[in-house]
Homo-oligomer: A and B are copies of this chain.
């Protein structure tokens, strides 16, 4: 079920307000599909792909189209509720744009599991590096690819390879 399922309602309300404000300002409309997709996204595990989200959405309403999910997630990204992420498997994934926790990712190349981590000291060094090169950093991506403990364990016990 992932971390997003555990988020406090108040936190989600903050995102709902952000979205609402943005839609009001732009004169956008609230439709059944949009509400369903957004709420499904809030309940989904973190780092959902469009495919995964569409599947979950269709459990509630089989008629929702691919493009609508794409457009709605773009909307969420535009208004700052979601972040697009690409982890090199050719798919775009989305996560809640939780600015309060700056996290990065550990990705298991065997089972595809994604774990988040935080390390403020890395962020500090990062800023120093940027300053050293005269860059003004807006965002960053820090991903560690390897094998998770579970897959390492399986390999040691189970198969010989």
Question: Which positions in A face B, CB cutoff 8 Å?
Answer: 86, 88, 106, 108-109, 115, 117, 119, 121-122, 125-126, 128-130, 132-149, 152
Contact B148 A130 (CB under 8 A): no
Question: Is the CB–CB distance between B130 and A146 below 8 Å?
Answer: yes
Contact B147 A133 (CB under 8 A): no
Which of B125, B128, B133 lies in contact with A106, CB distance below 8 A? Answer: B133
**What residues of B have a CB within 8 angstroms of the CB of A132 in the complex?**
117
Query: For A135, what are the chain B residues with a Cβ–Cβ distance below 8 Å?
Result: 106, 108, 115, 144, 146-149
User: What copy number does this chain have within its complex?
Assistant: 2
Q: Apart from A135-B147, A138-B147, A140-B144, what 10 extra A-B contacts exist at CB < 8 Å?
A: A86-B86, A86-B88, A119-B129, A122-B122, A130-B146, A137-B144, A137-B145, A140-B145, A141-B143, A142-B143
Minimum CB distance partner of A116 in chain B:
B133
13 A/B residue pairs, CB under 8 Å, sorted by A? A106-B129, A109-B138, A117-B133, A119-B128, A122-B126, A122-B129, A133-B149, A134-B148, A136-B146, A140-B142, A141-B141, A141-B143, A142-B142
Residues on the B chain within 8 Å of A130, using CB: 106, 144, 146
In whole angstroms, how far apart are the Cα atoms of A128 and B137 in the complex? 24
Q: Are the C-beta atoms of A145 and B149 separated by less than 8 Å?
A: no
- List of B residues within 8 angstroms of A122 by Cβ: 122, 125-126, 129
